[in-house]
Amino acid sequence: MYLFWFLKSTDICSSMNRTTKAYLAVIFLSIAWGTTYLAIRVAVMHYPAFLFAGLRQIISGLLMALIALAMFKKADLSWPVMKQNIITGFLLITVGNGIVTYAEKFIPSGVAALICAIMPLNAVILNIFINKGEKLNGIIVSGLLTAMAGVALIFRDNLADLANPAYFWGIIAIYIGTVSWAYGSIKNSRQHNIKNPLFNAAMQLLTGGITLMICSPFIDSFENFEPFQPDAMYAMVYLVVVGSLLAYTAYMFALKVLPVGIVTLYAYVNPLVAVVLGYFILDEKLTWFTALSFAAIVSGVYLVNAGYRKQKIKDKEIAATMPQQAVAAVTE
């Protein structure tokens, strides 16, 4: 509850305080979402993946909606807003979170986190394609190549496992999930004049979770379903409270205050947290290739973001000189 009070506190309107809180939210995300890969891996050993993800998000969405209404006393249920929440919920929760949860039945939590680390890179690439005015530069290209080398190292370190079709397609599925999450983040960041951002986040969790539940009978295997297995239940509680309620709220708040490229920096730390926890708790493999892969992906994402920021500054400088050039042309 402290996080919700923290985001709603009376001085939130101060731009400096608001920005500081957004950065603190990103720091929280960096650690919290890194731990969720381990919790998901534990849970899907006993639960059908889509069923588990759907239950988790529906419970989280209902609790968050109650908290949002109690705190803000208002909600926008108009169709344009709800339609946007349904679309964002589908992209972020159904596809983004659902596919990653499903894939962790077949691949280690550390490998899943490493692939998800390229999500900020996907966000920048999508921005370039969506906004026709965006341009590539040398730094962005070098970042893309470096990150791709990091992904190749993941494959090099798991050549034997790749012979298993479930493992191979699990990796491909996680990449698709990262693209969907990146696109959903971009669309969500463009929402304006939201009456109750927390309630909107709750609707995204709820609608995305309902879609996961609808998909579950067609995708999940219920062969090893153990609904009351203690480890799975602990994982459910942790993911509802920390992974969804607290972290998703922090994510939505940070997206409203900071650029998408800054908010998605949490993905630099997430894989490190996940790899270390997977090694110590689940005895997942940790090799030099894993370390090199992490370094390459993080370096690549950093370069892409740096090149993107440099390009934005250059574009602003060009735009600023355009009127002066036009005036000079007229007076000559």
Confidence at 307, pLDDT banded by 50, 70, 90: confident
Confidence at 12, pLDDT banded by 50, 70, 90: very low
Q: Is residue 41 part of a domain?
A: yes
The C-alpha atoms of residue 194 and residue 187 are separated, in whole angstroms, by 14
The whole-number average pLDDT for the span 241-251 is 87
The whole-number average pLDDT for the span 61-77 is 86
Instruction: List Cα–Cα distances, 267 to 5, 65, 156, 274, in angstroms.
Output: 25, 27, 22, 11
Burial class of residue 301, CB neighbours in 10 A (0-12, 13-18, 19+): buried
What token pair was written down for 292?
């090199």
Q: Is residue 8 part of a domain?
A: no
The C-alpha atoms of residue 256 and residue 19 are separated, in whole angstroms, by 10
pLDDT score of 16: 52
Confidence at 6, pLDDT banded by 50, 70, 90: very low
Rounded to a whole number of angstroms, the CA Rg of the chain reads 21
Q: Is residue 1 part of a domain?
A: no
pLDDT above 50: residue 180: yes
Q: Is residue 178 part of a domain?
A: yes
Least confident of 174-183, 272-281, 284-293: 284-293
Higher pLDDT, 9 or 88: 88
Confidence at 237, pLDDT banded by 50, 70, 90: very high
Residues 6+ apart with CB under 8 A from 276: none
Tell me the percentage of the chain whose pLDDT exceeds 90: 30
Dihedral sign from CA coordinates of 19, 24, 26, 29: negative
pLDDT above 70: residue 134: no
The domain tally of the chain equals 1
With 0.85 as the threshold, say if the pTM is over it. Answer: no
Confidence at 11, pLDDT banded by 50, 70, 90: very low
What token pair was written down for 331?
């007076």
- Residue range(s) defining the domain that contains residue 130: 15-331
DSSP letters spanning 47-96: S-HHHHHHHHHHHHHHHHHHHHHHHH------HHHHHHHHHHHIIIIIII
The whole-number average pLDDT for the span 206-215 is 96
pLDDT digit string, tens, across residues 76-133: 888 888 999 999 999 999 999 999 999 999 988 888 888 888 887 788 778 777 776 6
Q: Is residue 228 part of a domain?
A: yes
